[in-house]
Structure 1
């Protein structure tokens, strides 16, 4: 008991109080059963239970029970039913139609109490941290007690449950002889379990549990052991090919669950009983409930590796189950011949040619040869039987040679426990090793290094879900971004979701849509569906339908099930728009805009693309001019630079160096934590150093305060700021040991704010203000928490004004404070009183932005999004149902960037071939799957745009014409002319031209297919590349290209923004033209102009 914090004990006291309601709920169920069934008695028999399932549950669609819950009801014994089962039966069962008015009123009142009980139960039970602070505990206890008293419990008895003594083994008579016999039986059962005689073990443990006058804790041990033996017996039966098509009350897993629950009831604060329940739940494939029980076990004892391993296992399985199988690339479901035949059907690749190619690769790359053999054994082939153990051996050989694909696939097998021992930590190391490899294939640089992007995405999932690592959304975002940059479709979708919800990144709807488009184009069915829903919300009905249809065709089961519903949504919105006047439509669009703002799920934004280290010179200049904010940032940068320098200069740190590192980092955090943008590749090392120092301090001076101990605690809470429950549990001791350290009170206030506990947060902030009344950060957080409480808006406004009176004018929160004060007036006052004040505050905020340091511009504010539609008429006019095409928005589109960069890499090599003697670019092409044909005329052809062409389907669009502009210069024409084209929507794609007379090649690239030239492509063919599997507009019928009139050509096109009449020229190559210096800089940075920039 001494090792358990008061917050953890609070949680388990509430759990016990909830369990206490079972007596009342069973009594209530039996009374209602009699009331609804003409006085029949529920006798807890299987007959009664089976009849109830057949005659009631099967017919009532409102009652949604799990397989285990249905089995417990069928068994009939209401003592086995949990709170969730009983509340479901009581709330959703059909009432008798012969009830009196008084009976109906009583049932309604009882149902109201049941709803409240269920809500509190869900809030407590599903809390991830399994600890409750005193303020929240007292409120929940009061609410629960009121419900139980209404159901007939006694208040004086309930008050006794608040005492810690409820966790102690009750004083009970113990028969020494029975105790000795029980321990003997337990020892025999334990030995039988070790010998694999699980049925005998169950018999011994059963005899031990039924002996009278044995202590509760010992009896809990016997039940826990019996549950373990029943699980092992089930596995033994399964290995003997005994089928378990359905779950019944005789199933060893069901019996094990009852045993584990009995153990839990007897000793609720013993970690092992919750661990046992969790293991049984996992065996029953109830991994969400398993995680809940295992988190309870972990809260009671953080040191047990078996708890963490079981948690990792259930989390990874739950993560897989939450992804439809069509999205799970880790499934070993298709044999190699089946895969090759599918590639031939979709893209025209000859299976025999693929096998010959593999044979060639095996001769020049031994590690790739091992990977291919690994795939053969993992999937099965014509001459190879599936054998995971052999697959793992070959992947391991590839790993030893540094092959990323081998690392990734061995990690997959290790995660599943296929052919090797299941080990999520080892899988994690393999994924990290693969992610360290170069993203391009070491031998064929034009191709990706398979295994790198896949591993980066897998690491993102692990950090997002908390599988074998501490859950960290900022690190998840980092890995998703890397995987997206290297071609992952699923990572693009996941990162898009984070931007959509504002999880660990600044909320950015445009960025989210950009990423969903990228993921969808790359073939992710979930991204296709999400994009369709996003486009529907913007009233872009045509593209919404196109992408939804593509999601269905790609195998998105959820999309297929909801297809009719989505079609009705489109029809409904189209009807609304057609019946609305211009003003009404504008109101609808503004309303939808606001609804989008309220749908975000915010988490602290800790990812930033700004390096304050690079801003040091600028900050120093402003500091010299008297800027207090700049001076603070300079000081913070200095501490961070010294900390970073220690890590970069030494591979291994001595204890003294670790202590210095921690001190410098903590000082940076105290002054301005946004400065410490730790490179993600160093994040793990930083965490390891902090953990080691924290362990030393805890071990050496558990009760003694020290500067190092305080420093390392500052570092720990800041590094894990996204793990709210963890930090909330960690901070009380910090505040107790260092009652004068405002940083801990500030962090506690912020964390409780994110946990939706503003009262608790405000209490901590006020404690900090007693130490330092004029601290800007504390004053700002106080105002924010008062605003969220919403009880006294005037008090919140006063707190904001106090902040403004002490904060420097260029403090980064000053503009935000003006905007938040305006929000206060909007929420707390009538429009006639608020509007003028809001307008004034909005304008003051805009003026305050002008005083911000350059590193905080352009200014970012979540709150300004609510105010702009009220005071910025130009902004109102820009909220349209389908936004106008805007080329500027497309310039940074990830697909556009990738297309242009890849084109320049290819053409850069062609330039080297022209200018460097002996340098040759080798390329080849495969015969296309289908043949493109031209038409005699453009007359009668339907126009089509790039976004209407499915980027994942190898197809000729007969009867259509695609009109485009060439935006990149070709430098070679063997075996084809490589172009980059842009359509009327400013979407772009790569284009390959074949079938032209070879003698005309030089003329075509230098005179005809020049930058700015426009063309029509008749019957365009979207070809999926046989090697890179990427889309290309391919022309095999040369006559299908119809060049537009020279007068239509964009003259002197800017190489970055594609606008006409660019007046500036690259001084080095004398070819690239730009309309401004900014365009030249962006072309150099974003599109990598240096790849093709050759001195004339």
Structure 2
């Protein structure tokens, strides 16, 4: 920790302080369980957990847990529950109607503390740099300590956590023989892992973790290594099978890997690899929001580790795509060359019937557009061509070398995703910048856009908004989005609207957000249609909200189609209430 800034130290002191809440919250849950269930005892067994999951959680729509959290509850051991899980159970758990007024008041006061605790935790999670300046640190520390004292902790014990000595190895009574035996077992287990004997490795690591009189930091290393072996074992077992991100079984090696990784992190909070291991498991189960948080912590502790930055970039990239629902968005679905011809017709104004002839002509003349069109054929497959990302990348690269903005953009996109070429976010960033530097006007079709320029500008906006390969910087994201909007990009208009709606990188401006949503929607972005419908609903403009929602559905927006009945019910209810209140 010697080279870590004081602001990063502040962050981890607050993290350590927040972990003090786990014990009191678990006890609070057990007390309420007994209070709500006629004196029954929560005994931390799978029987208790499975019954609670079936009879309480699955019947309570307010409690929303991930698959992993559901498995942890069904396992029954409250010591394995994270803060999100236990606060959700406490805040949203149904209360029996037999409680008296004093009991209800006590529960309400406790829940206020839980809400405050969750708010502070959310603030810490959203510190991307995992650093907290002194003024903010002092305020958060005071707020958090006040909550912990109310939950039964003591000021004197909490104050000890402010000292930098917490980053040093704890003083322990050591058993030298067990230390040597643990080291031997770790060496054997590591070799077994290298030899692909993952069951043997896990068994050996397990023996090392349970030996008494071993340094906590050494045990953290054993748990971290065991987590890695469990992930490797899962991958070996699933070789050749289709990807399955869901965890439904407490014996799933990924669930056990996550448990071990968290144990490593908790034993040594300021060791980068503990957080890194947690991030790797979350990435493996497709929970990239949590993976990002763990990788950010690891990078704050070890800023020069390229492997952390690489994993962080990948998870930020995937999480960003998930948040944009790209997998549901029709504009990201594979397109045939004929569909691309129709898109070119909309952009350049050339009749699609003439494009096949034009395609043959430019192919013979060797113009850059021919290489881009061939790249499209290989990227998406066509009637006479089998999909081949590597060939697509070669044609895009050829076009890029001859100054084609479209070639640069499409090559950057494949490079960003690792399709046909090695995944490289830095190289993708450079290619996006090169494409964005080209003239916005097409060099051959005057008064027409140069395909690839606006798309590259939008891509750069996304990179800076999400911090993929670059430092997160909302103002820079706004700059690139605005350039893309000015050059006709629909997706950038939607993204920029969201920034105005949330006040991220710009001053919050709902009127500006509405204008940009409508601009994007009129440029046929179905996500903007849906966002505009929701904004208009909030403004009680029910007719226009319904109109834009219907357009989103008609444009193929799966999220809108899935929620159509719910949206119409909300619209009708809000309109009825508005009329009843004379609005």
* TM-score normalised by L of structure 1: 0.49
Do the aligned residues in 2 keep the contact of 1:332 with 1:379 (CA within 8 Å)? Answer: no
- Post-superposition CA distance 1:291-325 (Å, at most 9, x none): 22222222222222222222221211111111133
What is the correspondence of 1:713-724 to structure 2 with a 5 Å cutoff? none
Secondary structure, in 3 states, of the residue corresponding to 2:233? helix
Query: How far does residue 573 in structure 1 lie from its aligned partner after superposition?
Result: 5.7
Whether the 8 Å CA contact 1:388–1:419 is kept in 2: the answer is yes
Please tell me whether the aligned partners of residues 330 and 557 of structure 2 are also in contact (alpha carbons under 8 angstroms).
no
* Residues 8 and 71 (structure 1), Cα distance of their counterparts in 2 relative to 1, 3 Å cut: same
Give the superposition deviation at 1:101: 5.1
Unaligned runs of 5+ in 2: none
Cα distance in 2 for partners of 1:293, 1:52 equals 29
Cross-structure match for 2:55: 55
Match of 2:412 in 1: 411
Matches within 5 A, 1:645-684: none
Q: Where do residues 606-685 of structure 1 align in structure 2 (5 Å cutoff)?
A: none
Could you say which structure has the higher helix fraction?
2
Worse-matched range after superposition: 413-422 or 488-497:
488-497
More strand by share: 1
Partner of 1:315: 316
Equivalent residue number for residue 595 of structure 1: none
Shift of 1:103: 4.1
Q: Which position in structure 2 is the counterpart of 1:424?
A: 425
For 1:575 and 1:21, the matched residues in 2 are separated by: 46
Tell me how far apart the structure 2 counterparts of residues 536 and 299 of structure 1 sit (CA, whole Å).
42
User: Taking structure 1 as reference, are residues 360 and 459 closer, same or farther at Cα in structure 2, changes over 3 Å only?
Assistant: same
Tell me, what secondary structure is at the counterpart of 1:239? Answer: coil
Q: Counterparts of 2:532 and 2:34 in 1: how far apart (Å)?
A: 53
Match in the other structure for 2:473: 472
Give, in whole Å, the separation in 1 of the partners of 2:360 and 2:575: 51
Counterpart-to-counterpart distance in 2, 1:337 and 1:484: 26
Do the aligned partners of 1:327 and 1:524 also contact (CA within 8 Å) in 2? Answer: no
Partner residue in 2 for 1:111: 111
User: CA 1:390/1:114 → structure 2, altered by over 3 Å: closer, same or farther?
Assistant: same
- Check 1:494–1:123 CA distance in 2 against 1; reply closer, same or farther (3 A cut): closer
Contact between 2:186 and 2:205, CA under 8 Å: does it hold in 1?
yes
Give the structure, 1 or 2, with the largest relative contact order (CA under 8 Å, sep 6 or more).
Answer: 2
Given the superposition, is the C-alpha separation of residues 164 and 454 from structure 1 closer, same or farther in structure 2, using an over 3 Å criterion? same
The answer to which of 57-66 and 508-517 deviates more is 508-517
* Equivalent position SS for 2:20: helix
- Answer yes or no: is 1:175 the counterpart of 2:180: no
CA contact (8 A) 2:272 2:299 kept: yes
Q: Following TM superposition, by how much is the alpha carbon of 1:53 offset from its aligned partner in structure 2, in angstroms?
A: 0.9
Question: Deviation per CA, 1:786-808, whole angstroms, max 9, x where unpaired?
Answer: xxxxxxxxxxxxxxxxxxxxxxx
Q: Tell whether the 8 Å contact from 1:374 to 1:392 is kept in structure 2 after alignment.
A: yes
Q: Within 5 Å, give how 1:260-299 maps onto structure 2.
A: 260-299=261-300
- Relative to structure 1, the CA distance from residue 6 to residue 39 in structure 2 (aligned partners, 3 Å threshold; closer, same or farther) is same
2:220 corresponds in structure 1 to 220
- The answer for the alignment partner of 1:158 in structure 2 is 158
Q: Distance in 2 between matches of 1:544 and 1:151?
A: 46
Residue aligned with 1:161, SS = helix
1:371: how far off? 2.2
- Please report how far the alpha carbon of residue 193 of structure 1 lies from its aligned counterpart in structure 2 after TM superposition: 3.6
* Contact 1:374–1:394 (Cα < 8 Å) also in 2: yes
Any residues of structure 2 matched to 1:20-99 within 5 Å, and which? 20-99=20-99
State whether residues 497 and 514 of structure 2, in contact with CA within 8 Å, keep that contact through their aligned partners in structure 1: yes
What aligned pairs does 1:9-20 form with structure 2 within 5 A after superposition? 9-20=9-20
What are the within-5 Å matches in structure 2 for residues 1009-1020 of structure 1? none
Give the match for residue 552 of structure 1: 553
Residue 493 (structure 1) shift: 2.8
SS across alignment from 1:174: coil
Residue of structure 2 aligned with 1:565, choices 552, 562, 570: 570
Partner of 1:382: 383
- 1:81 CA displacement: 0.6
Report the Cα offset of residue 571 of structure 1: 6.5
Aligned match of 1:1069: none
Deviation of 1:330 (Å): 7.5
Work out the CA distance in 1 between the residues paired with 2:408 and 2:505. Answer: 29
What displacement does 1:343 show?
11
Q: CA shift at 1:69, angstroms?
A: 0.8
Aligned residue pair count: 575
Give the Cα–Cα distance (whole angstroms) in 2 for the partners of residues 212 and 262 of structure 1: 16
Counterpart secondary structure, 2:461 = helix
**Given the superposition, is the C-alpha separation of residues 289 and 411 from structure 1 closer, same or farther in structure 2, using an over 3 Å criterion?**
same
Q: Which has the larger radius of gyration?
A: 1
Contact 1:330–1:412 (Cα < 8 Å) also in 2:
no
Aligned residue in 2 for 1:440: 441
Q: Distance in 2 between matches of 1:282 and 1:553?
A: 34
User: Retained in 2: the 8 A contact 1:15–1:125?
Assistant: no
After the TM superposition, which residues 485-496 of structure 1 pair with which residues of structure 2 at under 5 Å, given as runs? 485-496=486-497
Cα distance in 1, alignment partners of residues 486 and 492 from structure 2: 9
Task: Give the corresponding residue for 1:453.
Answer: 454
Deviation string 1:982-1024 (CA, Å, 9 cap, x unpaired) is xxxxxxxxxxxxxxxxxxxxxxxxxxxxxxxxxxxxxxxxxxx
Change in Cα spacing, 1:368 to 1:201, as seen in structure 2 (3 Å) is farther
What corresponds to 1:235 in structure 2? 235
Whether the 8 Å CA contact 1:30–1:42 is kept in 2: the answer is yes
1:508–1:125 CA distance, 2 compared to 1 (3 A)? closer
Residues 1:285 and 1:327: Cα distance change in structure 2 (over 3 Å): closer
Contact 2:330 2:556 in 1 (8 A): no
- RMSD in angstroms over aligned alpha carbons? 3.3
| Residue 486 to residue 196, structure 1, CA distance change in 2 (3 Å) | farther
Report SS of the residue matched to 1:463. helix
Q: Matches of 2:523 and 2:467 in 1, distance apart?
A: 27
Aligned-residue offset at 1:108: 3.6
Once the two structures are superposed, residues 407-429 of structure 1 have per-residue CA deviations (whole angstroms, 9 ceiling, x without a partner) of 21222222222222221111111
Query: Alpha-carbon deviation of 1:99?
Result: 3.9
CA distance in 1, matches of 2:444, 2:254: 52
Q: CA 1:325–1:135 in structure 2 vs 1: closer, same or farther (change >3 Å)?
A: closer
Is 1:400–2:410 an aligned residue pair? no
Equivalent residue of 1:58, what SS? helix
* Whole-angstrom distance in 1 between the partners of 2:114 and 2:19: 14
Is 559-568 or 69-78 further displaced after alignment? 559-568
1:731-746 superposed matches below 5 A: none
For 2:329 and 2:409, locate their aligned partners in 1 and report how far apart those are by CA, in whole Å: 14
CA distance in 1, matches of 2:415, 2:524: 27
Deviation (angstroms), 1:30: 2.0
Q: Distance in 2 between matches of 1:107 and 1:542?
A: 43
What is the CA–CA distance in structure 1 between the aligned matches of 2:298 and 2:342, rounded to whole Å?
49
